[in-house]
Amino acid sequence: MTVLVPPRIRLIIVGDEILSGRRQDKHFAKVVELLSQRGLQLAGAEFVSDDQDDIVAVLSRSFATDDIVFSCGGIGGTPDDRTRQAAALALGLKLQLHPEAERLIAERCAENARKGMGSADMSTPENQQRLQMGVFPVGAEIVPNPYNKIPGFFIRNHTFVPGFPVMAWPMIEWTLDTRYRQWHHQITRVEHSFLAFLLPESRITPAMEELERKWPGVKAFSLPSVGDVANPHIDLGVKGEPKAAAEALAFLRSEVERVGGSLTPPQKP
């Protein structure tokens, strides 16, 4: 049976409020969780300011790849929302009002009007401004927004959603389950680790290098307990395909003992 290898998946988070610390990012951990639930993993993440030139530079590099990319933030209609414009510039495309986005925004305005909030007349200045949120690069497809109907957009394997988690997360889930279902659970990966005592990293590093040569699909990792004077140790582990990872883990444990380390903490006097 042929196993499909999913493309790399990356995350771009746009917003001065994140970089200044005014708001804390919540997307990274959630996207990792959503991917893990589907047997996928994140290959990289990048934070970028609201500056249009910065976003254009990031997206120009990103569109040049075959990666699956999710971009959160900057697709609203205020002057600090420049992601839609930056995407068009990065692709060398014009912007235009997407007809389906126009319909959905008009529906949202009508719903609000029935609740006594605003007008359903799309010719008013306020509603004309709201329609700007449906102006996307030519050729883009919409990404439905179950929270308030104002859509995001999809183009060249990049999905653009708002910065608000209540909107962004279900839109990302929809995209994963609609556009990328064929990549779900194609590769099973596991991660195993154990604690090693009485062992400097430098002594076990050659064994980790040998491990990756013997099992090319397995990655070894080492996380030393820096600052733990009372009980220094290294969290050693492997990640990869289950069978190979299990073999590599057994090898690494045996190597710890072979070079003089211990798998149990030293006895305190």
Same domain flag for 33 and 165: yes
Of 209, 213, 188, the residue nearest 222 (C-alpha): 209
Same domain flag for 15 and 79: yes
Same domain flag for 123 and 158: yes
Same domain flag for 179 and 213: no
Does the structure show a pLDDT above 60 at 210? yes
Does the structure show a pLDDT above 90 at 46? yes
Does the structure show a pLDDT above 50 at 1? no
What pTM was computed for the model?
0.85
Q: Which pLDDT does position 269 carry in this prediction?
A: 64
Same domain flag for 215 and 174: no
Same domain flag for 197 and 147: no
Which of 183, 210, 242 is the endpoint of a domain? 183
Give 218's pLDDT tier (boundaries 50, 70, 90): very high
Same domain flag for 93 and 195: no
Express as a percent the part of the chain with pLDDT over 70. 97
Same domain flag for 158 and 206: no
Top mean pLDDT of 112-116, 224-228, 229-233 is at 112-116
In a domain, 264, yes or no: no
CA 28 to chain centre: 6
Of 108, 105, 109, 48, the residue nearest 82 (C-alpha): 48
Integer-rounded Cα radius of gyration of the chain: 24
Q: Which pLDDT does position 188 carry in this prediction?
A: 83
In a domain, 1, yes or no: no
Same domain flag for 14 and 131: yes
Does the structure show a pLDDT above 70 at 16? yes
Total structural domains in the chain? 2
Q: What is the mean predicted confidence (pLDDT) over 87-113?
A: 97
Give 186's pLDDT tier (boundaries 50, 70, 90): confident
Domain span including residue 110: 9-183
Q: What is the mean predicted confidence (pLDDT) over 13-35?
A: 96
* pLDDT averaged over every residue in the chain: 94
Same domain flag for 112 and 157: yes
In a domain, 134, yes or no: yes
3-state secondary structure the chain: CCCCCCCCEEEEEECHHHHCCCCCCCHHHHHHHHHHCCCCCCCEEEEECCCHHHHHHHHHHHHCCCCEEEEECCCCCCCCCCHHHHHHHHHCCCEEECHHHHHHHHHHHHHHHHCCCCCCCCCCHHHHHHHHHHEEECCCEEECCCCCCCCEEEECCEEEECCCHHHHHHHHHHHHHHCCHHHCCCCCCEEEEEEEECCCHHHHHHHHHHHHHHCCCCEEEEEECCCCCCCCEEEEEEEECHHHHHHHHHHHHHHHHHCCCECCCCCCC
Which of 166, 183, 200 is the endpoint of a domain? 183
In a domain, 91, yes or no: yes
The enclosing domain of 235 has a CATH number of: 3.30.70.1130
Which of 141, 162, 183 is the endpoint of a domain? 183
Is the pLDDT higher at 268 or at 158?
Answer: 158
Residue 126: C-alpha distances to residues 50, 55, 106, 114, 167 (Å) = 23, 27, 12, 16, 22
Q: Which pLDDT does position 228 carry in this prediction?
A: 63
Does the structure show a pLDDT above 90 at 93? yes
In a domain, 19, yes or no: yes
Look at 71-75, 122-126, 174-178, 224-228 and tell me which has the smallest mean pLDDT: 224-228
Same domain flag for 140 and 224: no
